[in-house]
Chain A
Amino acid sequence: MARLIEAVGFGLVTASILALAAVAVSLQVSVTNFINFAYGDFLTFGAYIAWTTAQHGVNIFLAVLLGGVATGLLGIAANVFIFRPFMRRRVRTVTLLIAGVGLSFIVQNGITLIWSTEPVRFNVTLGNSFNIGPLVFTPGDLLMIGAAVGLLALLHVMLSYTRFGKSLRATSNNIDLAQACGIDSDRVITITWFLAGLLTAVAGVGLVLQEGTLDPTTGFVELFIIFGAVILGGIGKPYGAMLGALVVGVLTEVSGMYVNSAYKTSIAFAVVIILLLFRPQGLFAGSSKTS
């Protein structure tokens, strides 16, 4: 039982990382209506930028921020040069999916060219682990959870109370109507790609700090678990994605206790598949976005 509670603790850390990435994906899907297959590689890219700058003696927090900004700019570039031309012609979703695969090839192998396939170690020790009640955390874990909660709260405030948040929600709801109301939806979409990139990079650094190593396929593998969380929360609904991440994160860590650890990733994927098969509309139904 003690181990179970401990696993829930790990699950919370995994979930907070997953939540950032899932909310990023969900935000972008909510305004653009398609799933970007290159997202995992964006995550890897952000983590590599943060790692490189940290190697050069930059403070780790600043490094994460730099990684975030770089990934945000990558997102904007992807939107302007690849996805926007397709969306202007209103092609089918399948085309956008496949274009995302092409972008994934480019980003993932670009990373390989720059940083090689050799996994790098990326560790930051901020102090010894300690107990909070029955849960065991390192300061890094707590920081991760704190960062996730803080960023998501910030995002909530932005979505609910700012003019930009309102425009974003309007664009997400009905892009043509939003444009007719004078909302510059292109600008909204561009900023959303930037925000999504920023959040993804923070999640990427969190993921890598948790696992200890980073290689060019890190994000690509994680991507499908992120998708699981996104879809579980109801696609294109950022708040749902947070809950979805919590469920997937805790479920995988807890189930990992009962099964050989070699199969841990299989468990995560199996959870994703089962959820998709039986609750494709998301756990918290209501009107799902895109269809």
Chain B
Amino acid sequence: MLFFFTDLLVLGCINAIMVVGLNLHYGYAGLLNFAFYMYVAIGAYIAAVTTMGSPTFPGVTYIFGWTLPWWVGLILGGLVAAAVSVVIFAFTVRRLRSDYLAIVTVSAAFIMLNVVNSFTPLFDGGTGLFNVPPITGNLSISSEGYSLVMLAVTAVILALFVWVSQRIFRSPFGRLLRGIREDEAVTTAFGHASWRPQLWIFVIGSFMAGIAGGLFVLYISAWNPGAFLPIESFFLLSSLIIGGSGNYWGAMLGAFVVIEGLAELSRYSPTFGNPADAGAIRAIVIGVALILVLRYRPEGLIPERWLRWYRVGAGNVVRRFPALRRNVP
């Protein structure tokens, strides 16, 4: 019973890290990234191959095969994800409008999936990686104990990232991002090069995704292409929008309730016919919830907060011109 809760909490924390990262992209900067899970997958693969040593099973092949300490592998995973995001940003985000950006990012995710699946020397193809060593090393520990250890690690990292998001939100940098999100022409007219803050936020968010992926693989000890289908990115985005984009509390609520809560509910819901139907029902529920939230509460369950000085200073303007208020996600 204890294991059930700690397991749930660890996965919840990992998902929350992802959604908090996605919130930086979509909530703070308005960058519609439909392939966020790609960075999670990159982080997971890099963290795995840099810590698990050279291949021991016959037929298993992957690059690197280093035996770095887990935390070095984790950070490397985050850095590689961030580096890839710089390339993606340079080629796409600056050039394309939102719908094209969505198409290009999803296409890129499909390519990564296809290449990883078919090109076995990279990450062992469709079979994927397994036996990734736990962060406790050779220490003999029960799975309950390990989930407790991981809970501590993921909770600390989640808290750190939430703190970072909070600092960003309140900083001039965060304000500038919101300005760009609302109206790029205005911020440009005030002399801000809008790509620079967007690039930074894109990189920071992708770094968080890479870290989340690394934690994921260190916890479940295996990773394969089935783990990062494009639909996962859509789940993350849905949970962010339902929870409340632009607000890290909303992001965490979305991660815990929408992803974890529904996953568990559907696991215990009465199954009629095929047990695989539970996943389908969960996705339908998420789809309906997403549309209802967009329709009746577009700001999400916990809306973006307006800081005090907004109300004192710019608040009057906002009150007089409701169109300035961000009322649609």
A residues in contact (CB < 8 Å) with B:
34-35, 37, 82, 85-86, 91-95, 97-99, 101-106, 108-110, 112-113, 116-117, 221, 224, 227-228, 231, 260, 262-263, 265-266, 269-270, 272-273, 276-277, 280, 291
> Which residues in window 215-274 of B have CB below 8 A to A?
234, 237-238, 241, 274
Q: Of the candidates A91, A98, A112, A276, which one forms a contact with B100 in the assembled complex, judged by CB atoms under 8 Å apart?
A: A276
Beyond A106-B288, A273-B111, 10 additional pairs, beta carbon < 8 A: A35-B103, A97-B32, A97-B99, A98-B238, A101-B290, A102-B238, A102-B288, A106-B287, A269-B114, A277-B95
| Leading 3 A-B pairs by shortest Cβ distance | A105-B287, A102-B290, A109-B280
Chain B's nearest CB lies how many Å from the CB of A231? 7
How far does the alpha carbon of A18 sit from the alpha carbon of B40 in the complex, in Å?
Answer: 32
Q: Which residues of B contact A98 (CB under 8 A)?
A: 237-238, 241, 290, 294, 329
Q: 27 A–B contact pairs at CB < 8 A? A: A91-B328, A93-B98, A93-B99, A94-B98, A95-B329, A97-B32, A97-B102, A98-B329, A99-B295, A101-B234, A101-B237, A101-B287, A101-B290, A102-B287, A105-B238, A106-B291, A109-B279, A109-B283, A109-B284, A109-B287, A110-B280, A113-B277, A224-B107, A266-B110, A269-B114, A277-B92, A280-B96
What number of A-B contacts does a CB cutoff of 8 Å give? 134
Find chain B residues with CB under 8 A from A99 CB. 290-291, 294-295
Task: Tell me the bound Cα distance from A103 to B288 in angstroms.
Answer: 8
Residue of A nearest to B291 (CB): A102
Q: Is the CB of B328 within 8 A of A92?
A: yes
A231: which of B32, B100, B328 is its contact (CB, 8 Å)? Answer: B100
Contact A97 B98 (CB under 8 A): yes
CB < 8 Å: which of A34, A35, A94, A221 contacts B110? A221
User: Is B276 part of the binding interface, using a Cβ–Cβ cutoff of 8 Å?
Assistant: yes
Main SS of the interface on chain B? helix
Complex contacts, B288 vs chain A, CB 8 Å = 102, 106
In whole Å, how far is B95's beta carbon from the nearest beta carbon of chain A? 6
- What is the interface of chain B, defined by CB distance below 8 A to chain A? 30, 32, 34, 91-92, 95-100, 102-104, 106-108, 110-111, 114-115, 117-118, 234, 237-238, 241, 274, 276-277, 279-281, 283-284, 286-288, 290-291, 294-295, 298, 328-329
Chain A nearest Cβ from B264, distance in angstroms: 18
Query: Looking at chain A's contact residues, is the secondary structure mostly helix, strand, loop, or mixed?
Result: helix
Closest chain-B Cβ to A82's Cβ sits at a distance in Å of 6
Contacts A91-B328, A95-B328, A112-B277 hold; do A101 and B111 have CB atoms under 8 A apart?
Answer: no
Residues of B within 8 A of A37 (CB): 102
B111 near A116 with CB under 8 A, answer: no
Q: Cα distance A108–B230 when bound, in Å?
A: 13
A158 to B223, CA, bound (A): 52
User: Which residues of the partner chain A approach B91 to less than 8 Å between Cβ atoms?
Assistant: 277
Q: Given A34-B99, A265-B110, A109 and B281 touching (CB < 8 A)?
A: yes
Partner of B276 from the list A97, A104, A116, A291 (CB cut-off 8 Å) is A116
> Taking CB as reference atom, which chain B residue is nearest A101?
B234
Q: Contacts A95-B298, A102-B238, A109-B284; is A272 near B107 (CB within 8 Å)?
A: yes
Question: What separation, in Å, do the CA atoms of A262 and B274 have in the docked complex?
Answer: 31
Shortest C-beta distance, A189 to chain B (Å), equals: 18
Determine how close the nearest CB of chain A comes to the CB of B151; give it in whole angstroms.
30
Most buried by B among A105, A263, A280: A105
Contact status B237-A263, CB under 8 Å: no
- B-chain residues with CB within 8 Å of residue A262 when the two chains form the complex: 114, 117-118
A281 to chain B, nearest CB (A): 10
Q: How far is the CB of A245 from chain B (nearest CB, A)?
A: 16
B295: nearest chain-A partner, CB-CB: A85
Q: A94 vs B114: C-alpha distance in the bound complex, in angstroms?
A: 27
Report Cα–Cα, A97/B290, bound state, in Å: 12
CA distance A276 to B32 in the complex (A): 16
CA distance A93 to B115 in the complex (A): 32
In contact, B283 and A108 (Cβ under 8 angstroms):
yes
